[in-house]
Amino acid sequence: DIPYKYYLPTDTLSVRDQISLDDFEEWLRGGDRTDLEKRTKLRDKVITAKGSYLHNGYREIRYWASFVPSRSVWDQLCIKEGLATDSLLSNEEWINEKIFVLHRPGIYTAVKGMPTGITVEHPSAGYSGYWSNMFIIFEDDRLSFDIGRKSIHGLTANIYKSYAKEIFNRFLQYIVKYVSGTVEPYSAEWNKEGLIDEIKSLPDLGCSVVKFGKNPKDQEASVAAIFYELIGAGYINDVEPLISGYRNKYDLYAKWNSRTVIIEFKSHLKNVVKDFDDARKVFDEMDYIVCWEVTDEDAEKLHRLSITIEPLDEVSLFSRIPMHISCCTHRLLINANVTPVYVIDLKRFLNSLR
């Protein structure tokens, strides 16, 4: 016996198990919130949002969206509401037959108060794995809907995809940083003296060019710090930093040769492979990667993605137009049609300054 209404994934959840994105943003504006407070506020909650778009100035497209903290929540909701049992959810044949009655992620459509059951493929976007946590339903009274229709294509599908991407990106700015992972409260057992002793035992950098004391081999933040120190000391004089970590996407936006360039910091060059695999970062969006040292292991891991790493030749004394930042040591090539990503091996560059 189902009431005449949209049956939303949050209908049977208590207030403590869900939070509106509007309410969360209002809470953020109410004071200077720490990362721990933000994580605690969103942790283990279904996040919801609703609103509308006025397409082309006359066509109102309403939406309701939710993001679940983990994909297993879809099954938990189905069991909680009596739509399925554990055994049924592991029965592939039953799932294929009854999928339409279950809570599942996706981009759905409705017209004049009636859900159509027709879905739209999600658009391509960074952090695409999170689409499995998202449910969006668009209500569009101008959607032309015929009984028996099973899909939406072309311009209409692109309209929903475009708005779905906007909604997804709004969620994303909080999800990546505050929903992923667990809250780590302060521990009274933290041993400051022991940590200091551990730091003392790390190998010294042993370079008079910069003031940094310890070798940054496994520390991305230290790699970034040394790079900034080299800029401040004038050893890298053709880069003008603009802003770091803007919108949680890339590490540094800077000016070089009157262009705005994107720079990534990595303790190991091979670590960029995970970003490419997760679609978090895109090869042809970044311009430079700063790492501590380029190794054979880095080259091997990049080769598996069909990315070639080449050492750069010395720049000719008579070269008029610089092709890259002066301290670059290598370049990454994916194919002839994609601009290479240049690499700055800090260890090699520091050795050249000794």
What are the extents of the domains in the chain? Answer: 15-68+105-179, 202-353
pLDDT at 134: 94
CB of 101 closer than 8 Å to CB of 74: no
pLDDT in tens, 66-106: 999 888 999 999 999 899 999 999 888 898 888 888 999 99
- pLDDT at 144 (0 to 100): 80
The pLDDT value recorded for residue 318 is: 54
Q: Strands 330-333 and 308-311, how do they pair?
A: antiparallel
* pLDDT, position 3: 73
Q: Which of 132-146, 200-214, 311-325 has the lowest mean pLDDT?
A: 311-325
Overall pTM surpassing 0.75 (yes/no): no
Structure tokens at 95: 């799932």
Average pLDDT over residues 284-302: 93
What integer pLDDT is reported at residue 323 of this predicted model? 87
Q: How far apart, in whole angstroms, are the C-alpha atoms of residue 133 and residue 105?
A: 6
| Contact status, residue 154 vs residue 54, Cβ threshold 8 Å | no
**For 109-133, what is the mean pLDDT?**
86
pLDDT at 316 over 60: no
| Position with higher pLDDT, 90 vs 125 | 90
Checking if the pLDDT of 340 tops 60, the result is yes
Most confident region among 34-48, 206-220, 224-238, 332-346 by mean pLDDT = 224-238
Average pLDDT over the chain, rounded to an integer: 87
Backbone torsions φ then ψ of 168, nearest 5 degrees: -60, -45
pLDDT at 149 over 70: no
Question: Quick one: which of 129, 134, 130 has its CA closest to 119?
Answer: 134
pLDDT at site 95:
87
pLDDT tier, 183 (very low <50, low <70, confident <90, very high otherwise): very low
Distances (CA, A) of 336 to 307, 308, 310, 324: 11, 11, 14, 17
Confidence grade of residue 238 (pLDDT, cut at 50, 70, 90) = very high
Which of 251, 246, 194, 201 has its CA nearest to residue 225?
251
Token couple for 322: 């610089």
Angstrom distance (rounded) from CA 151 to CA 325: 49
Contact 111, 143 (CB under 8 A): yes
- Identify each DSSP E strand in the chain by its residue range: 18-20, 46-55, 59-67, 106-111, 114-120, 134-140, 240-244, 252-256, 259-266, 288-291, 308-311, 330-333, 341-345
Confidence bin at 14 (pLDDT 50/70/90):
very high
- Residue 60, pLDDT score: 95
Instruction: Report the distance separating Cα 331 and Cα 149, nearest Å.
Output: 51
pLDDT, position 128:
80
